[in-house]
Amino acid sequence: MRRIWANRSAIAVGAGIGLMLALVTLVTYLDGGTSGSLIHFYYIPIVIASYFLGDLGGIVASFAAGLLAAVLPRDVMMGTPQPLQDILIRLALFYFIGLITARLFAKLEERRADATSLLDISRSVNASLRLSDVLRTIAETAVRITSAKACSIRLLNRERDELTPAASYGLSLDYLAKGPLRLSDSPLDREVLAGRTVTIADARTDPRFRYREEASEEGIVSVLCLPLRRANEAFGVLRVYSQAPHQWSHRERRLLQAFADHAAVSIHNARLHESLRRSYWETVNALARAIEAKDPYTLGHSERVTDYALQLGRALELDSEALEVLRFAATLHDIGKIGLTDESLARGGHLDMTDEIGLRMHPLIGISILQPVEFLAPAIPAVRYHHERWDGKGHPEGLAGDAIPLFARILAVANAWDRLLTGAPGREGLPEAQAVRELRRLAGTELDPALTEAFIRALGHGPRPPRQEARPPETGAESPA
C-alpha cells in the first residue's frame, strides 16, 4: 500500500513538473525568446524534480528543459534561431544543475536520516538507567543501524589494565568465553583507546586481531573498532562485526562514532545511577543491621528474610526490576522497629498492651520513615502489609487473600520461615523438616497457600543451601577502577 502511494505521489510530482516546464516554455516565448531573462525560470522545475525525484528525476527534467528550450527561437520578433553552441551549453548547464542539486538534497536527506536515527537511538538507550540494560541496548542498536552480524562492548578496568566483556549482541557463547583481554596483549585495542577508529578488513588474517582462529569459526570477517570516550578519555571499546567482507563507508563510520559518543554518555549516566543505587543499598542495609543489633534474637533477620524472599521471587520468575524492589522491601521490612524501645524488643513474646500496640504499629512507623525517599516508593506496600494474614486477621488493616500485595505475601512466607528456623526468646528453632510441616500448617490461615507451596518447592525438601550475604544491586558489568 505504501509503495502504491509512493508511486502515485511520484506520478503527481512528475505531472506537475511537466506542466511547469510547459508553462516556462510559454512564458519564455512570450518574453521574446531565449535571449530574454525568463529563460532562467527553467531552473525552478529542475530543482523541484531533483528534490522530490532524486538523480533520475533531476536528469530527466534537465533534458526535458533543454529540449523545450532548444525549439524556441533566440528572438521571436526577428525569427532568429538559436546557435547550436547555445543549445549544447544550456543543455550541459541544466544537466549539471539537476545532478548537483539532486546530490545536495540527497546529502541533506542522509544527514536528516542520521539525525533521526540518533534521536531514536537516544530514546531507546536512555529508556533505562540500569547499566546492563543500557549496554545491551547499545550493542543491539549498533547492529541494527549498520545491518552488521554482531557487536560487543568491552569496558576498561584500569586497575587490572584489561578490557572486560560488558555486553554483546549476535555473538555465540563460545566466542564470548574468551574472557577479559589484557591491553599488553592487544596493540589493536591500545590504538582504539588512544581515540582512533580502526578498521579490520579481514579478522581471519589480520595480525592485529588477536582471535583470528575464533573469528573464522564464528563467521566474522570485517570488524570496525571504535572508542567509547567521555571528556576525551576512552574507557571502553565498541566492536561491530560483519560476516562478509565490508568496506565501512565514511557515513557508517561517522554515524557509528556519533552513536558511540552518545553511548559513552549513557554509560556514564548509568554508572552514576548504579553507584547511587549501591549507596542507597549500603545505607539501608547498615540501618537494618543497626536496628537488629538492639535485639540479639533478631540479629541477621533482615538478611535472612531477604535471601528467602529472593529465593521465592526467582521461583516465581519475577524480573530483575521486581526482584530489586523485593530486595529493598525485605531488607527494610522491620525498619519501623526503630520506634520501639530496647525493653520492648528484649521482652520478645512477653509484651504488655503498650508494647503490643507499638509492635503492631511498626509497619506504619516504617512507611513514615520511607515515604520521603522517592527511590523506595515501590517497596512501601510490602513494608506496610507484611504482617497481614491470608485469613484477614493480620494488621495493620486486616486485609485478606489477594487483596494483600504480592510482595507483602512473599515477605510473610519468608518471615514465617525464618521465625520457625531461628526461634524466639524461650523457644528453640525447629529442624528444617519439622519447619516445613509447620509452614504448611500456616498456609491458608496466616500465609498464601500457593506461595507457601512454591517456596517449599524452591527449597527442594533438602538441606537449606548456605545463606549468602545480602548483596547490593548488580551492575551487569564490572565497573572499571
Q: Model confidence over 306-342: pLDDT tens digits?
A: 999 999 999 999 988 899 899 989 988 887 777 565 5
Q: Which of 330, 310, 308, 312 is nearest to 451 (CA)?
A: 312
Cell of 3: 509503495
Q: Does residue 463 have a cis bond before it (omega within 30 degrees)?
A: no
> What is the structure's pLDDT at 362?
75
Mean pLDDT score of the chain: 79
More confident residue, 7 or 259: 259
3-state DSSP call for residue 386?
Answer: coil
CATH topology (fold) of 293-459: Hypothetical protein af1432 (1.10.3210)
Please check whether residue 326 is in contact with residue 313, taking contact to mean a CB–CB distance below 8 angstroms.
yes
Among 21-30, 116-125, 343-352, the minimum mean pLDDT is found in 343-352
More confident residue, 10 or 160: 160
Out of 7-11, 423-427, 443-447, the most confident range is 443-447
Average pLDDT of span 92-112: 80
- In this prediction, residue 193 has a pLDDT band, given cuts at 50, 70 and 90, of confident
Class of domain 131-263 as given by CATH: alpha beta
Strands 198-200, 233-242: pairing kind: unpaired
User: Residue 158: CA atoms inside 13 Å, Cβ hemisphere, count?
Assistant: 6
> What is the structure's pLDDT at 128?
59
How far apart, in Å, are the Cα atoms of 161 and each of 142, 183, 184, 337? 26, 6, 8, 47
In angstroms, rounded to a whole number, what is the distance separating the alpha carbons of residues 104 and 55? 10
Please check whether residue 99 is in contact with residue 57, taking contact to mean a CB–CB distance below 8 angstroms.
no
Report the residue count for the chain.
481
Res 462 pLDDT > 60: no
How far apart, in Å, are the Cα atoms of 340 and each of 220, 296, 354, 379? 64, 15, 10, 22
> What is the structure's pLDDT at 448?
93
Q: Which of 364, 303, 309 is nearest to 331 (CA)?
A: 303
Give the containing element (helix H, strand E) for 78: none
Among 178-182, 302-306, 392-396, 461-465, the minimum mean pLDDT is found in 461-465
Q: Using CB atoms within 10 A of its CB, is residue 31 exposed (0-12), middle (13-18) or buried (19+)?
A: middle
